[in-house]
Chain A
Amino acid sequence: MKTIIKTIRENALTPWGLWLGFLGLLLLGALLGGLTVFWKGLSITNLTDRVPWGLWITLDLSAIALSAGAFSLCAGVYLFGLKRYAPIARTATFVGLIGYTMAMLALVLDIGRPDRFWKALVYWNTHSLLWEVTMCIMLYLTVLVLETMPIFATFEWLKKRFPKLTEKMEHVHHYAPFLAILGLGLSSLHQSSLGAVYGVIKARPIWYKPEMAVLFMFSAIVGGIALTLLASMLSARLTPKAKINDGLIERVAQFLGYLMIGYLYFRFWDWLAQTYTYEPGRTEAFELLTKGTLSFNFWFGEMIIGALLPTFILLYRPARLSPFWRMLGLAMVVGGVVAFRFDTNIVGLLAVISYLPGEALVSYASYTPSLVEWVTGLGIIAYGLLAFSLGVKYLRVVDHRITSEARETVTVKSGEAVQI
């Protein structure tokens, strides 16, 4: 007990201590908020019958999208043979594990009957996209747990206490290619199906299009890779525990720039197609994006800052070589994907087509997240940040000295560039 108090007293005013304290406060707020939601029900949120999906769903969709670095980078490393990027894929799987658990937390809050969460696994409506998404997410979470086993095996305390166990956990690494195959399959399915969840809704014309699946898949890949790179660079800047090979990150960032061109192409094509003809409901919803309440989000969040600028930054060599500009570009991509998810969900709900006979009239709903939605949402983000911070500190999550084949540590003298 005394030693604990002593450790706290010694560390409280260090940046690490303050960071933990800050996240702790957010988590405490979310815990209280979450308990209130369970106690009082969803009536304390600003969700309504017209806008039944709000901030939490955005958090869900974003957390899952930003976890997509795990499957795309693992596929690159283990299926396409880009083995030297294995350390980045390692970080990505850890980010993925955090992202999916964040989504789970948000879902438990969001569903009306959290006590029946298990029913989603027992009762199947195989026709439902949400069923498919649920199944894929559960299976993929299992894959992620297996994929991150070798990372957890580096926990010193665990190594000392249970050396046999950590050896076994470390051994899971040998199955990485198979796990990558499973991960690629499951992720391709549910990342696109998450878009199709919206894409199949006939009642809401702005959603009702096949490209929803493509857009969600593509935005997830760019967002996921961007977050992995950003998290790696940021942690390397903040703690000596994280060791990166900047050359590797720079190469992936350039590749991300090219991917962004593909993403922009799809967005642009989707955008143009929607402006062509008046379609009741769709045109009104689209105008909410281009000149209505969501126009700032759309033009700046999604398009200019979220996609165009970072594409230039990541493809323009001098900017990409500067860690500051590269990190900024990566952060913009991440923000752009979150904005895209938020807008996509909300825009279809805000423009409601009347079912009265005759010409389709459109009415508008409104939604501003309530305090409890923000507090719990921020708490879930804090959980993600805390998990990643602890991972960096204790689990060598960001450590580019670990090579994929030998899994040996390359010893480096300080002041020397890391060569892998």
Chain B
Amino acid sequence: MDNQTVSRRDFIKLTAVGVAVAAGTRAIQQVEASEGAKGEHQWAMVIDQSNCIGCEHCTFACRARNDVSPDIEWNKVLEAGEVGGKMTYLPRPCMHCEHAPCVEVCPVGASYYRDDGIVMMDYDKCIGCRYCQIACPYEARTFNWEKFEGDNPAVPEWGMPEVERRPRGVPEKCSFCYQRIDRGLSLGLTPGVDDAATPACCAACPTGARVFGDLNDPNSQVSQLLKKYPSYRLREHLGTGCRVYYIPVGVVPVRDVTTTEG
């Protein structure tokens, strides 16, 4: 019986130490997270639904530049119902959430935040558990059930691939074309202004319905649009803090742009 009392006491001690250590690490992490979250730039995308005509040029440009398989759409264009007898559209890239469920749940930290707010995937770290897919409220992630082999039908018509193809067995998603942003910044270009430094979808949009820029810069087009017009974000009540904003139909005047169908 004596032996037992010792075990119980030890149990309590062990638990106390464990809880203290866990609480300590958690506290340190939170400090780090809140300090590291804001970088020099805070990238965001504004999609003006009044001017989106559902042409899917964004999807094709994205497919080419990011070498995305025809089975997968990083940027899906959905029909969002008719308004005044006219179909409206909702293009859906990754929302690059400020509190991204995918980053929170990833066991190995393969999904992570960049200082500029981009939610990134480290395809070399990912073990393919698909928890992120289950956690994402926007179905922004697609799993590579098969290896993408052969030609990309969007290349070269819509551009040349700028990143490596993802291997079989990992989920993939939109990265806000981080490669274009990083390269552009190093060349002294401004993402959102210079096409070469702007995500392929925004650069390819024939009607200018997709706008990209820095929320930290009050003069950027995204900041200006968000100041001028009412906007909404998808499943806002979840508190994910999306970096993709939508300006609803009927708010921005429709520009008259004739396009060639792709």
Contact = CB atoms under 8 A, between A and B. Distances in A.
Given A111-B127, A185-B14, A201 B134 contact: yes
Contacts of A53: 130, 134
Given A123-B108, A127-B104, A128-B106, A357 B130 contact: no
B119 to A, nearest CB: 14
A130 B131 contact: yes
Interface in B122-171: 125-131, 133-139, 141-147, 167-171
A131 B105 CA distance: 8
Contact of B146 (A43, A123, A131, A357): A43
B238 interface: yes
Contacts of A356: 78, 80-81, 90, 234
A204 B136 CA distance: 9
Given A53-B130, A123-B109, A79 B7 contact: yes
Contact of B130 (A52, A117, A124, A125): A52
B229 interface: no
A120 to B, nearest CB: 6
Given A79-B4, A112-B168, A125 B137 contact: no
Interface in B1-55: 1, 3-4, 7-8, 10-11, 14-15, 18, 25-26, 29
A159 B174 CA distance: 59
Interface string B171-207: 1000000000000000000000000000000000000
B74 to A, nearest CB: 13
A203 B141 CA distance: 14
B92 interface: yes
Contacts of A126: 25-26, 29
A125 B139 contact: no
A357 B234 contact: yes
A130 B129 contact: yes
B134 A181 contact: no
A117 B108 CA distance: 10
A356 B171 CA distance: 22
A129 B130 CA distance: 13
A134 interface: yes
A69 B134 CA distance: 30
A41 B106 CA distance: 21
- Interface residue tally of chain A, by bracket? 35 or more
A271 to B, nearest CB: 23
Contacts of A123: 108-110, 125
Contacts, number: 155
Contacts of B135: 201-203
Contact of B169 (A41, A81, A177, A348): A41
A92 B171 CA distance: 38
Nearest to A135: B107
Interface centre among B29, B101, B131, B240 (most CB of A within 10 A): B131
A181 B105 contact: no
A35 to B, nearest CB: 16
A178 B9 CA distance: 11
Contacts of B1: 81
Contact of A120 (B15, B108, B168, B239): B108
A340 to B, nearest CB: 18
Interface in A134-149: 134
B7 to A, nearest CB: 4
Contacts of B114: none
Interface in A52-80: 52-53, 78-79
A203 B110 CA distance: 20
Contacts of B78: 356
A377 B120 CA distance: 34
Contact of A49 (B15, B26, B92, B143): B143
Given A112-B169, A119-B125, A181-B10, A203 B108 contact: no
Given A49-B143, A113-B126, A357-B90, A127 B10 contact: no
Nearest to B144: A112
Contacts of A177: 3-4, 7
A41 B145 contact: yes
Contacts of A124: 108-109
A78 B4 CA distance: 7
A197 interface: yes
A349 interface: yes
A36 to B, nearest CB: 14
B137 A119 contact: no
Interface in B210-245: 232, 234-235, 238-240
Contacts of B92: 355
Interface string B74-93: 00001011000000001010
A119 B105 contact: no
B60 interface: no
A116 interface: yes
B143 A200 contact: no
Contacts of B144: 112
Interface in A179-202: 180-182, 184-185, 197, 200-202
Contact of A78 (B7, B25, B90, B131): B7
Contacts of B138: 355
17 contacts: A49-B142, A112-B128, A112-B130, A124-B108, A125-B109, A127-B104, A128-B106, A177-B7, A178-B7, A181-B14, A200-B104, A202-B238, A348-B134, A357-B234, A357-B246, A357-B248, A358-B81
Q: 3 closest A-B pairs (Cβ-Cβ)? A: A112-B128, A112-B169, A203-B137
Given A43-B145, A112-B130, A204-B134, 10 more contacts: A112-B143, A112-B169, A112-B171, A126-B26, A130-B129, A185-B11, A185-B18, A201-B135, A356-B234, A357-B90
